[in-house]
Amino acid sequence: MKIGILVSEGPFTHQASDSAYQFVKAALEKGHEIFRVFFYNDGVNNGTRLTVPPQDERNIQSNWTELAEKHNLDLVVCIAAAQRRGILDENEAKRQGKDADNIAPGFRISGLGQLIETGIESDRLVVFGD
């Protein structure tokens, strides 16, 4: 089965990001295909490389990056939601006249069209968050 994922909660706001991560990991272990993981609203906060949780807590951003590298996952951060929250890739930082970017490895920034495509191309779109 080809599965699309939508994450709309931040990594330290609610359980949504952790649940999405565990779901994706389990689905991959069962042989399912993850078409794309799309981060929207506060979910884009999963994609900042500047997150520094305490050492005794899980690092959900790092977990997503490692899972993406291992399984060649497409982790997409919504550009409009990311800009509102100060999350920029190198190109967007230059375009906006900023002196730095902070997108985490394995994540990329794109528009809502990627979410629409995810819903069309996937057998199921599973939503985590409100």
Contacts 24+ apart (CB under 8 A), 66-70: 67/21, 67/24, 67/25, 67/28, 68/106, 68/107, 69/105, 69/106
22 annotated active-site: no
**Alpha-carbon Rg for the chain in angstroms:** 14
CB-side neighbour CA atoms (13 Å) of 6: 18
Q: Output the CA–CA distances (angstroms, integers) from residue 30 to 21, 49, 77, 117, in the order listed.
A: 14, 29, 26, 24
Residue of 44, 67, 78, 82 with catalytic role? 78
Provide the residue count of the chain.
Answer: 130
Residues taking part in catalysis:
78
